[in-house]
Amino acid sequence: MSNFQQMLSQALVSGQLWTDEPMSRHTTFRVGGPADYYVEAQTAAELSQVLGLCRRQEVPCYVVGNGSNLLVGDGGYRGVILSLGKQFSGVEKAGEGKLLAGAGALLSVVAKTALKESLAGMEFASGIPGTVGGAVVMNAGAYGSELADVLGSVMLLDPEGEVGRFSPAQLELGYRSSNIQARGLVVLQAEFNLEPGEEKQIAGRMEELAAQRRAKQPLEYPSAGSTFKRPEGYFAGRLIEEAGLRGFCVGGAQVSEKHCGFVVNRGSATAADLRQLFREVQRRVREHSGVELELEVKLLGDF
């Protein structure tokens, strides 16, 4: 056991540590090589200890949620992948129209809790496969709504180990963006402000959106959702289709035949396949329409 590994172990009381952990187990693309260290923290104190240790030892560290917006290279990640354990996955009602959710809670669970409490506003999130923490970081959205519409406040851990509450305005939430990662902050919990509603109507809207997803999105294959951000004044999927790329493949990676805004793993894709396909799509769309597509998927590690 290395000295650093020993220090990591000592930083964890109830958390867990794995070495050479395949990231294909932790991303929705189902690809990715091994992380040197994969840590699942159960408390804010453990998070702070691990982050502080990585800073002092100058070891790269990256915080992941559900891996639903992430492509890790086939060579893996040289450093620590830090995830939030079950202690961060609670969701509860906290006053009139409010839900509190841990950063590790799935958005789908928050939406189901809102339905159970007859609270409207989270229907759009019921099919988003990410965690609360990841969704706050990227201001996740779907069907014309986004997290900023319902976010009340966010509890964050700063690089000095201090915990504080931040308003959405302080986080500079934009289209699929925030200042959270740039400031070295880690999401611990989010408060959602929702409206009283009729359970039947809320359930109906959730089913309506679920039906749209089943009809239009390639849910049968591993993917990271929308691969590219929506260019202003355009739709990424339409630009990709107009460039003649529906069904285009690189190895086991493919532009979905069902929805060109999605790149999928047909079962045998490597991270290299996916990255090459991303680049080819960007090149061909640029040549065809003059529009520069920006990746929504985060690239991490050694390719």
d(CA 178, CA 183): 10
pLDDT at 135: 95
The catalytically annotated residue of 40, 117, 123, 296 is 296
Six token digits for residue 157 = 């851990």
pLDDT in tens, 229-263: 999 999 999 999 999 999 999 999 999 999 999 99
Among candidate residues 135, 66, 63, the one with its CA nearest the CA of residue 101? 135
pLDDT at 225: 92
pLDDT band at 289, cuts 50/70/90? very high
pLDDT at 220: 95
pLDDT in tens, 41-59: 999 999 999 999 999 999 9
Please name the amino acid found at residue 58: E
Among candidate residues 163, 185, 191, the one with its CA nearest the CA of residue 172? 185
Query: Would you say 60 and 37 are in contact if contact means Cβ atoms under 8 Å apart?
Result: no
pLDDT in tens, 142-171: 998 999 999 999 999 999 899 999 999 999
d(CA 129, CA 224): 9
- Told to judge if 176 belongs to the known catalytic residues of this protein, a careful annotator would answer yes
> For the residues of 30-49, what is the DSSP string, one character each?
----EEEEEEEE-SHHHHHH
Mean of the per-residue pLDDT values of the chain? 96
The catalytically annotated residue of 176, 183, 205, 266 is 176
Q: Would you say residue 204 has pLDDT above 90?
A: yes
State the DSSP code for 166. Answer: E
pLDDT band at 22, cuts 50/70/90? very high
Read off the pTM: 0.93
pLDDT at 249: 98
pLDDT in tens, 85-142: 999 999 999 989 999 999 999 999 999 999 999 999 999 999 999 999 999 999 999 9
- Told to judge if 296 belongs to the known catalytic residues of this protein, a careful annotator would answer yes
Q: Would you say residue 1 has pLDDT above 90?
A: no
Q: What angle do CA 172, 177, 223 make, to 5 degrees?
A: 160
The catalytically annotated residue of 21, 226, 256, 275 is 226
